[in-house]
Chain A
Amino acid sequence: MNGLVASSRRSAQRSALVASRVPRGLTPTALVAVVGVLFVLIWGQQYTGSVFVLAACYAIVTAGMAVQIGFSQQIAFSQSVFMGVGAYGVAMLNTHYNMPVLLATPIVLVGSALVAILLGSVVTRASGLALAVATLMLPLIAVGYVSGTGFLGGAVGAPLPGTLWPSSSASTSVALVGGGLIVIVLLALAVFISARILTSDIGLELFVLGVDERTAAALGVRTPRRKLELFVLGCVFAALGGALYAGTQQFVPETLVDPTAELALLIMLFIGGRRSVIGAVIGALVIQYLQGASNWVSVNILVVEGLLLTVVLLVDPEGLAGIVTTGVSRLRARLGSAPSEGLGGARLSEPSSPRRKRQTPDEVDSAEPVDLADPALLEIRSVFKEYGGLSVLEDVSLTLPERGLFALCGPNGAGKSTLLNVIGGSVPPSQGQVILSGADITRRPPHERFYQGISRTFQSVHLIKGRTVLDNVAVACLASHKSSIATRIARSRLDDAREQASRALADLGMAHLAGREVSSLTLETQRMVELARALAPNPRLLLLDEPASGLSEDQRQRLAGVLAAVATRTCVLLVEHDLALVAQVSERIFVLAAGRLVFDGGPEDFRSSPVVNTLLVGS
C-alpha cells in the first residue's frame, strides 16, 4: 500500500511538471479499434470487408516493422518468412491435426517466438547492412524450402479447411464477420503494444539505437539485448499476421514467404510512414486496397506502387504519416512562436538537491570501491593499443582522483581519442588494465561502464536528431536499461528521466531550450546539450572529447566557467587542443605524443616545459 501511495504522490508531483494527457498509446488503438469494428460490422460480408480484413492482417505485420525497422532502424528482412511460419504453422495444425485455427494460433506464436530467439541470437550480432544482407537470405532460403516440400503444399500452396471463427456450424456470414472482428481486436492489441513501446523510456533507447549504435552503448543502452528483443517482436507480430492470414483466407500461397512479399511489406511501411504505427497501418490499407481494386490500378499495380512510393518519399521521407504531422505542426507553428535560443545565462548553480545517487540501488552494478583507503577514481595501468601492427598507445599509465579537472593534450594522431575510447570501453586495449575505484573494468562493455559512472561526449556532436533537447538529455537518465521491452508496455518511467533531465538543464541555465529540436540549435548550444547529457546522470568520471572545438573565445570562456564548477564535484578528463584553455582550467595536464605519455604535471610546468613547447607550440 505504501508503494501505491508513494507512486500516486510521485505522479501527482509529476503532473505539475508534465502536462496531463491521455494514457500512452490509447489514441491510435482506439482509432484502429473503432474504425475497424465499424467497418467489419457494416461491410464484413462484402468484398470491401474482406480486403479490409486482409489489410488488417498485413497491418499487424507492418506495425511490428514500424517499431523494428522504421523507429529502431534494425533492417532485418525476416517478416515475410515469419508470416510464412505463422501461416503454414496454422495450416498444418489445422489440416493434419484437425486443430481449430483459434487454438493453433497461440501455439504457433509461441513456436515462432522460440525460433525467433534462436535465429535472432545469431543474426542480431550483425549491425546495419550486415544484418540486412544476412536476413535477406531468409526469404531466399525459405522460398526454396517451401517450394520443394510437398508436406507444405509446395509451389501450389496449402489450403486449410478451418476458419478463424471457431464454430464450424456457423453460417458463412457469421464466420466472416466474427473472424474479421477477431483480426481487428488483435490488430488493435498490436497497435497498442507498438505505440506503448515507442512512447516508453525504452522507446527513447530504441530511437538512439536506431540513430547510432555506438552512442547508444555509451549512454548505457544494452544494444545486443535490445536488438534481439526487436527482432523477436518483429517476428512474432509477423507470425501473428501470417496466422490470421491463413485463418481468414483459408489458403497459404507459396508467394507469402518469397522476397517479393518482403518487398511488398516494406512498401506498405514506407508509404504509410516508417516511424509511425498508425502510418504503418494506413500503408497496409492503402496497398491492399490498390491491389484489391479490380480495375486499371490492380492490373498495373507495380506502376502505381512505384509512382506512389516515389512521390510520397519525395514529399516527405516519413511517408503519409509524416506529411500529416508536418502539416499539423506547421499549422501550430503559425499559431504560436518558438522560444529564442541563447546561452547568456549559462551558469552552473549548486545541484538542486544534495548529490543524488546515480541510479536506484538495484540498478548499480557490483563494482563498488573495494579499497576505501585508495583515493584514486581511475587508474590506467600500462595500456597498449595496436591496430594491425600500428602502435597507437604504448605503455600509458595515469591515475585520476575523485574530483578535479584534468586535461589530455597532444598533436593529432597522438592517441588521445583512442585513450578516451579505452576508458569509455568502445575500444579494447591490446594490453594493460583500466581500474575504476579499485575494480578492473578492462573487459566490461561501454554500457556497464556507464552504469558505474563513466559518462562521455564525442569529438563530433552525437545528438539525436529529430528529438527535443529534453529527450536528448533524458536518454542519459533512463532507468530502463536492465528491463525488458515487455515490462515497459505496462509501465514507463520516461517522465522520471525527463524530470532528471530538466533539472540538469536548469543547472546549466538551459531550461528554456528543453522543448527545442536539437538540429535547430547552434553548434555551441549543441555542445552544451551534450555536456548536459553527460552531466545529467551525475557521473563520477566525465570524459570530454574536444568540447571547445568550433566555439568562439567568448563561448570558450563560458565553457571554462561551467567546467570549473563541475570539477568541484566530479572528476573531469578533457581532451583539448586549445592550450590556453587547458592551462587556465586544469589542475594537471597529460601530454601524449605518438602513443606515449611524455608530460604529466601542473599548468605552470606545462607552460614552461620544453617538451610541450616543441610538440604543441612548435617553437
Chain B
Amino acid sequence: MMKFGNLLIAGITTGAIYAMFAVCVSVWYRVSNILNLAVGDFAMVGALGVDNLYRVKGLPLPVAIICTLLVVAAFAYVYDQVVLRIAQDGPQRMDGIVVTFFFTFALSFFIDGVAKMLFGTDVHAAPALWNGASLTLGSLHFERAGLLVLACAVIIGGAFWVYIRFTLGGKALEASGENSVGARIVGIDTRRYRRLIFVGTAVIAAIFGIVESPLTGFTYLSGATISLTGFLAAAYGGFRKPGRALLAGLFIGVLEAMLGGYVSAEYGDTVLYAILAAMVLAWPRQLGFESAVSG
C-alpha cells in the first residue's frame, strides 16, 4: 500500500507536468489550429536560462527569473510577428499539415540550437525555489519541488479554466480557432488572440521548466521530450479540449509511474507507449482524434 501511495504521488506529479504542457498545446491549438511542438523548448529555456543567469552570471534569483521570462515572452512575440504572420496572415494563407506541424517543429530545432550555443551540453537545473528535505506524511514522501509543481498546476490550470469558461475572451479565442474568418467578421481580432495565447503559453511553459527542473535536470535537448509528452496528452484530449488534455496528462503520468513500479523499471516506458498506441487504434473516435484535424 505504501509503495502504491508513493507511486501515485510520483505519478500525479509527473502527470501534472504533462497535463500543464498538454493544456498549453491544446489551448493554443484551439485558437490557431497550430500545434506548438516547441512548448517544451520554452520550458528548457526557462530552466537553463535561470540557471545560467543565477549561477554563472551571478544575478539574484528573482531578477534571473524575471529576465528569463521577459526574454521568452519577447522571443515568442517576435516569432509570432515575423513567422506566423507570414504563414497565416499572408496573401497566400497556408493551411494543412505544413502549418499545423512544421513551423513550430522548425522553431523547436532553432531554440535547441541556440540553447546549445548559450548554455552548452551539460545537465543543469534552475535552483530549487523551496529548499529542504522531502516532507513525509506517515510513510508517504512528498518532494518539495513536486508540491510546487502541483501548486502551480492547480493555480495556472484553474486560471485557464476560468478564463475559457467564464470570460468573453475565452469565448472569442474558441471562435478564432473554430472559424477564423467568421470570428473576424464579428469583430474578433484573431491574430491578437493567437499572439496573446502563444506568448502566454510560452511564459507558462518557461515557469514550469523553472519549477520542474530541480526534479529531473535539463539539457538543451530536453525540450523535445517535454513537447512530445505534452503533444501526446493533448492528442488524447482531442487537441481542442484543455480539460480533457489535463486528465489525459494525469492519466499518462500515473500509468507511467505504475508501470515503472510494478511491471518493469527497464521496459516500463515501452509498455506505456504500446498501451497508448493500442488505445488510439481501439477508440480513435472516442478519444477525439477524428474530429481534431483533417487534411
Contacts and interface: CB of A to CB of B under 8 A. Distances in A.
Given A125-B281, A129-B235, A300-B117, A306 B290 contact: no
Contacts of B117: 300, 303
Interface in B102-160: 102-103, 105-114, 116-117
23 contacts: A75-B97, A125-B281, A126-B280, A127-B284, A129-B292, A130-B287, A135-B277, A137-B273, A141-B274, A141-B277, A148-B266, A148-B267, A211-B295, A300-B117, A303-B113, A303-B114, A306-B110, A306-B113, A309-B102, A310-B106, A313-B102, A313-B106, A317-B99
B228 interface: yes
B86 A126 contact: no
Interface string B81-106: 00100110000001011110011011
B38 to A, nearest CB: 10
B178 interface: no
* B contact patch SS: helix
A128 B293 CA distance: 7
B273 A302 contact: no
Given A126-B281, A128-B289, A133 B113 contact: no
Q: Pick the most buried of B103, B269, B273: most chain A CB atoms within 10 A of its CB.
A: B273
B235 A140 contact: no
Interface in B195-252: 224, 228, 232, 235, 239
Contact of B289 (A133, A145, A314): A133
Contacts of B267: 144-145, 148
Contacts of A266: 102, 105
Nearest to B275: A137
Interface in B242-282: 266-267, 269-270, 273-274, 276-277, 280-281
A122 B87 contact: no
Given A73-B295, A75-B97, A310-B110, A137 B86 contact: no
Contacts of B113: 300-306
A305 B270 contact: no
B235 A260 contact: no
B289 A130 contact: yes
A144 B269 contact: yes
A428 interface: no
Contacts of B105: 263, 266-267, 309
Contacts of B102: 266, 270, 309, 313
* A contact patch SS: helix
Contacts of A123: 277, 281
A305 B280 contact: no
Contacts of B293: 128-129
Contact of B110 (A73, A133, A302): A302
Contacts of A306: 106-113
A333 interface: no
Given A270-B98, A306-B107, A309-B109, A260 B277 contact: no
Given A148-B266, A148-B267, A313-B102, A305 B109 contact: yes
A138 B114 CA distance: 29
Interface string A91-125: 00000000000000000000000000000001101
Nearest to A260: B224
Interface in B40-82: none
Given A128-B294, A302-B113, A317 B98 contact: yes
B35 to A, nearest CB: 10
A370 B136 CA distance: 79
Contacts of B235: 129, 133
A123 B274 CA distance: 12
Interface residues of B, number: 45
A136 B273 CA distance: 9
Interface in A442-468: none
A129 B231 CA distance: 12
A307 interface: yes
Nearest to A140: B273
Contacts of A300: 113, 116-117
Given A137-B274, A137-B276, A314 B87 contact: yes
A598 to B, nearest CB: 32
Interface in A183-202: none
Interface of B: 83, 86-87, 94, 96-99, 102-103, 105-114, 116-117, 224, 228, 232, 235, 239, 266-267, 269-270, 273-274, 276-277, 280-281, 284, 287, 289-290, 292-295
Given A145-B267, A263-B105, 16 more contacts: A73-B295, A122-B281, A127-B284, A129-B292, A137-B274, A138-B277, A141-B270, A211-B295, A303-B110, A305-B113, A306-B106, A306-B109, A306-B112, A309-B106, A313-B87, A314-B86
A392 interface: no
Interface string A270-302: 100010000000000000000000000000111
A305 B289 contact: no
Nearest to B37: A263
B109 A267 contact: yes
A304 B94 CA distance: 23
A259 interface: yes
A527 to B, nearest CB: 21
A302 B116 contact: yes
A496 interface: no
**10 closest pairs, A vs B, by CB?**
A306-B110, A302-B113, A303-B113, A306-B109, A309-B106, A130-B289, A137-B277, A144-B270, A130-B284, A137-B273
A133 B273 CA distance: 10
B294 to A, nearest CB: 6
Q: Pick the most buried of A129, A136, A260, A317: most chain B CB atoms within 10 A of its CB.
A: A129
A144 B83 CA distance: 36
Nearest to B111: A306
A499 interface: no
B277 A134 contact: yes
Contacts of A305: 106, 109, 113
B281 A310 contact: no
Contacts of B103: 310, 313
Contacts of A211: 295
A495 interface: no
B109 A212 contact: no
Contact of B109 (A125, A130, A145, A302): A302
Contacts of B274: 137, 141
Nearest to B287: A130
A138 B98 CA distance: 22
Contact of B97 (A73, A267, A309): A73
B289 A310 contact: no
B108 A130 contact: no
Contacts of B292: 128-129
A127 B83 contact: no
A369 to B, nearest CB: 37
Given A128-B289, A310-B106, A134 B280 contact: yes
A314 B266 contact: no
A318 to B, nearest CB: 9
B288 to A, nearest CB: 9
A492 to B, nearest CB: 26
Contacts of A302: 109-110, 112-113, 116
A428 to B, nearest CB: 14
Contacts of A141: 270, 273-274, 277
Contact of B83 (A126, A140, A259, A310): A310
Interface in A60-96: 73, 75
Interface string A225-256: 00000000000000000000000000000000
A267 B273 CA distance: 24
Contacts of B97: 73, 75
Contacts of B270: 140-141, 144-145, 148
Q: Pick the most buried of A75, A128, A135, A305: most chain B CB atoms within 10 A of its CB.
A: A128
A266 B98 CA distance: 11
Contacts of B224: 259-260, 263
Given A73-B295, A130-B284, A303-B117, A310 B273 contact: no
B233 to A, nearest CB: 11
